[in-house]
Chain A
Amino acid sequence: MDRDPSPARRRFDPPLPAPPAALRRGPFRPGAFRSPAHGPRTAVVLGRWLGAALLLCFATGLISHLLQDPPGWLAPHLPPRPVNGYRTTQGLHVIAGLAAVPLAGAKLWTVYPRLFEWPPARGVLHLLERLSIALLVAAVLLELFTGLLNTLQWYPWPFPFRQTHYWTAWTAVGALLVHLAVKAPVIAAHWRRAGAVPPSVPPPVPPPVPPSVPPSGRRAVLAATAAAVGAVTLTTAGQSVPWLRALDLFAPRRPGTGGLPVNRTAAQAGTTAVPADWRLAVDGPAGYLIGLGGLRGLPQTTADLPIACVEGWSADARWTGVRLSDLLRRAGIPAGSAVRITSLEAEGPYRVTEMPAPYADDPLTLLALDLDGRPLTPDHGFPARIVAPNRPGVLQTKWVARIEAV
């Protein structure tokens, strides 16, 4: 922000009166914060790291949202390849989100003295800018907090997670871009270590530093933050990165021990006891009912496809069953059709899902009967489940009862 606005600018940015100086106490006192590491160079370096993490979260989150809940015009164009696409983007989403926890903490510590700048608002524009920062901080804290707790399936708040996380992400990124626009001169001035400080931004007066302390605590702050990011990543990323599994101490999921993780058990879905006369209904011009014996009598296909969850974890599995496209052609449903899949579960937001045509036609998309060479267990979707490449786990419908063209 320019400190000496032109007369034209003053017209739409009238100065605001400063509060009485007697109120300038506590953290508002000049020199209340003494660490030289609170300077703008620290903020710029940490801001770059945090900005990269947040933008990566936003991009991968958008991909996840579009795969999970595509608008009508996009659905016929969703790609079933690469097979590991969703596990990669969503794994990165959670890794970057967890890395953003220490980054946001360090960034907010660095700029904490700015919260107490005096006067609190020099003018209307300055007030608006500070309000946009309040919005940015609130949105980022809410995103990190709800995202972290969602990976634990912990929902102590009264609002729905997915929609709130989604819309708050747009708010956060919007506020971030506004913040970048406002701070562009400071960012440019401190982009490089030895960057010259422009005259409009007076350099912070370094307070006298005791001789035992290095001239700048900046490097110590950056090193500690980098170590914190490394520690958080190494102790949690094992849930999505197989070769980091040995270091995984705190991830809420552990693929590889105790078999393939599940998000919703048969007991939760009310599908522990499948009716003895279960038969799959495939509705179409030549619709039919087919039992488990009939399905096992059809040509079987084996495919290695990951289960990749929106909560970040993913695991490889070997599935055997009937190609979905084979089942659809038998019912007279032509290639290029989107299908609706209904589960046996009595309720749940994903009881009925729609599968766009590119997935339904894909030779790797199976109605799976076996997992790793053994019949499905109730928790994994007995008697039959859908598994398709590059799809969020919640759409890999378990306990399938009916398949029909949309």
Chain B
Amino acid sequence: MRILRGALLLGGLALLACGLVGLLTDPYVTGPLGVLLWAAGLVALHDGLWLPLVCALGAATTGRPVLRGWLVVAAAVGAVAVPAVLRAGDDHGNPTLLPLPYLRHWLLFLAVTAAAAALAALVRRSVRKARPRGR
């Protein structure tokens, strides 16, 4: 275990240094500060805005696991789909880029998964009513 940890630590530090030195010396990356600012900005948005929102939503939906699950799925697919929705139509004159009706697909996805989640929640509730847990 000690040898493995040591090897991981040294190897990791070497790769880390390699990446940082590469970023600082690459002739095409003329403004490494910009990279740092964008990375820091992403962390600040994620940890300072997004996660507090997730925690608040989580607290507001305590005891409703199906709703929570649907929110998780909708958020994950949204992270991938919303950039395409925002970007749809901006194809630089290339009709093979972003060819789908992304907004319609996104609303369709939300509607279908919400309906499925509502159904699952109903089934869950009726099953729990029919078989109350012994306490």
Q: When the two chains form their complex, are residues B135 and A211 in contact, meaning their CB atoms are under 8 A apart?
A: yes
Q: List CB contacts (< 8 Å) of A134-170 with chain B.
A: 134-135, 137-139, 141-142, 145, 148-149, 152-154, 157-160, 162-164, 166-170
* Residue A391 CB within 8 A of the other chain: no
* Residue A85 CB within 8 A of the other chain: no
Q: When the two chains form their complex, are residues B63 and A101 in contact, meaning their CB atoms are under 8 A apart?
A: no
Bound CA span A169–B81, Å: 24
Given that A142-B38, A184-B5 are contacting pairs, would A258 and B95 also be in contact in the complex, using a CB cutoff of 8 Å?
yes
Given that A158-B34, A160-B28, A213-B62 are contacting pairs, would A170 and B16 also be in contact in the complex, using a CB cutoff of 8 Å?
yes
Q: Is the interface of B mostly helix, strand, loop or mixed?
A: helix
Interface string of A106-126 (1 = CB under 8 A from B): 101100100100000000000
Q: When the two chains form their complex, are residues B12 and A180 in contact, meaning their CB atoms are under 8 A apart?
A: yes
Interface residues on A, range: 35 or more
Q: Considering the complex, give the chain A residue whose CB is closest to the CB of B11.
A: A177
Given that A158-B34, A175-B16 are contacting pairs, would A213 and B63 also be in contact in the complex, using a CB cutoff of 8 Å?
yes
Interface string of B78-103 (1 = CB under 8 A from A): 01110110010010111111111010
- With most chain B CB atoms within 10 A of its CB, the pick from A115, A171, A214, A257 is A171
Q: When the two chains form their complex, are residues B81 and A249 in contact, meaning their CB atoms are under 8 A apart?
A: yes
- With most chain B CB atoms within 10 A of its CB, the pick from A135, A170, A232, A250 is A250
* Residue B4 CB within 8 A of the other chain: yes
* Residue A205 CB within 8 A of the other chain: no
Q: Considering the complex, give the chain B residue whose CB is closest to the CB of A311.
A: B97
Contact of B93 among A179, A223, A258, A265 (CB under 8 A): A265
Interface string of A358-383 (1 = CB under 8 A from B): 00000000000000000000000000
Q: List CB contacts (< 8 Å) of B15-67 with chain A.
A: 15-20, 22-23, 26, 28-32, 34-35, 38-40, 42-43, 46-47, 51, 54-55, 58, 62-63, 65
Chain B residues within an 8 Å CB radius of A162: 28
* Residue B75 CB within 8 A of the other chain: yes
Bound CA span A178–B17, Å: 12
* Residue B130 CB within 8 A of the other chain: no
Interface residues on B, range: 35 or more
Q: When the two chains form their complex, are residues B11 and A141 in contact, meaning their CB atoms are under 8 A apart?
A: no
Given that A138-B39, A254-B99, A257-B99 are contacting pairs, would A220 and B76 also be in contact in the complex, using a CB cutoff of 8 Å?
no
Q: When the two chains form their complex, are residues A227 and B94 in contact, meaning their CB atoms are under 8 A apart?
A: no
Contact of B96 among A137, A145, A154, A259 (CB under 8 A): A259
| Shortest CB distance A27–B (Å) | 8
| Shortest CB distance A262–B (Å) | 5
Q: When the two chains form their complex, are residues A235 and B109 in contact, meaning their CB atoms are under 8 A apart?
A: yes
Q: Considering the complex, give the chain A residue whose CB is closest to the CB of B50.
A: A105
Q: When the two chains form their complex, are residues B94 and A262 in contact, meaning their CB atoms are under 8 A apart?
A: yes
Bound CA span A175–B46, Å: 19
- With most chain A CB atoms within 10 A of its CB, the pick from B72, B94, B105 is B72
Chain B residues within an 8 Å CB radius of A134: 43
Given that A171-B20, A228-B73, A236-B80 are contacting pairs, would A210 and B62 also be in contact in the complex, using a CB cutoff of 8 Å?
yes
| Shortest CB distance B91–A (Å) | 8
Q: When the two chains form their complex, are residues B51 and A167 in contact, meaning their CB atoms are under 8 A apart?
A: no
Given that A109-B51, A112-B47, A180-B8 are contacting pairs, would A253 and B99 also be in contact in the complex, using a CB cutoff of 8 Å?
yes
Q: List CB contacts (< 8 Å) of A167-200 with chain B.
A: 167-182, 184-185, 188
Bound CA span A175–B47, Å: 19
Given that A102-B72, A170-B19, A177-B8 are contacting pairs, would A250 and B42 also be in contact in the complex, using a CB cutoff of 8 Å?
no
| Shortest CB distance B15–A (Å) | 3
* Residue A261 CB within 8 A of the other chain: yes
* Residue A225 CB within 8 A of the other chain: yes
Given that A174-B16, A228-B77 are contacting pairs, would A268 and B94 also be in contact in the complex, using a CB cutoff of 8 Å?
yes
7 closest Cβ contacts across the A-B interface?
A177-B12, A174-B16, A170-B19, A174-B15, A171-B19, A228-B76, A102-B76
Q: When the two chains form their complex, are residues B76 and A101 in contact, meaning their CB atoms are under 8 A apart?
A: yes
Q: When the two chains form their complex, are residues A227 and B16 in contact, meaning their CB atoms are under 8 A apart?
A: no
Chain B residues within an 8 Å CB radius of A101: 76, 79-80
Kindly list 17 other residue pairs between chains A and B, CB separation below 8 angstroms, not including A109-B55, A138-B43, A265-B94: A105-B75, A112-B47, A139-B19, A158-B31, A159-B38, A163-B23, A164-B29, A167-B23, A173-B19, A178-B9, A214-B65, A225-B72, A227-B73, A228-B73, A251-B100, A253-B99, A261-B96
Q: When the two chains form their complex, are residues A115 and B47 in contact, meaning their CB atoms are under 8 A apart?
A: yes
Chain B residues within an 8 Å CB radius of A184: 1, 4-5, 8
Chain B residues within an 8 Å CB radius of A267: 93
